[in-house]
Amino acid sequence: MIRAIVFDLGRVLIDFDFNIAIERLKKRAPVNPIKLLTFFSAHSPAVDFDRGVLGEREFFSAIQKEMNLPLSMEEFIVLWNEIFTEKKAMADWAKSLKGKYKIGILSNTNPWHLQHLKKKHGWVFEFDAFVGSCEVQMMKPNPRIYRHILEKLGVAPEETFYVDDIAENVAAAKNLGMDAVQFKDEASFFIEVYLKRYVLSFQV
């Protein structure tokens, strides 16, 4: 029996588009979009920042070394953070399940984005548990971070339904015994949940 639902945050409940930030940055400084996106998606300092083992000043120094931007850290943070938009159908569904299931959010995220989300999208912190990678120094698909949120929710893996947009993270949840679905879009997700899996269980 499902007692808890755990959501990934980015591209599941909250969408994001780095191109918004890049267009803003291009108005202030010469920016190589491919170089900047590569730095944030694959470069080890960005991974270390998400994992909470690299400080904000050290991370910004790595950006400056890579990009040579004529901006202060504070200016860069403001420009870089305004990239989020709520995915309304998923957000509404998650909110509708409060009180019926234990709800958790498990996100690979960095301190800048975490601070911004608390200010602009505070509802994501109003569920039963929120675990951000930078706060616990663990990242998905490390099984320890999944166990951490299960402990916070007080549920077993087999009592948990997990949603993530990244296949590797979904596989890690399944390996622990959770039922899990890869999120691709709202339509296919709700078909999967209501028509294939939990016709009677997820009542809204």
Q: Is the pLDDT of residue 159 over 50?
A: yes
Assigned fold of 18-81: DNA polymerase; domain 1 (1.10.150)
Angle between helix axes 18-26 and 33-42 (nearest 10 degrees) is 140
Residues of the chain with CATH 3.40.50.1000: 4-15+85-197
Six-digit token string for 78: 């403001």
Q: What is the pLDDT of residues 34-60, one digit of tens each?
A: 888 888 877 789 999 999 999 999 999
Domain 4-15+85-197: which topology? Rossmann fold (3.40.50)
Cβ–Cβ < 8 Å for 137, 108: no
| Start and end residues for every CATH 1.10.150.240 domain found in the chain | 18-81
**Tens of pLDDT, residues 105-150:** 999 999 999 999 999 999 999 999 999 999 999 999 999 999 999 9
Q: How many CB atoms lie within 10 A of CB 50?
A: 21
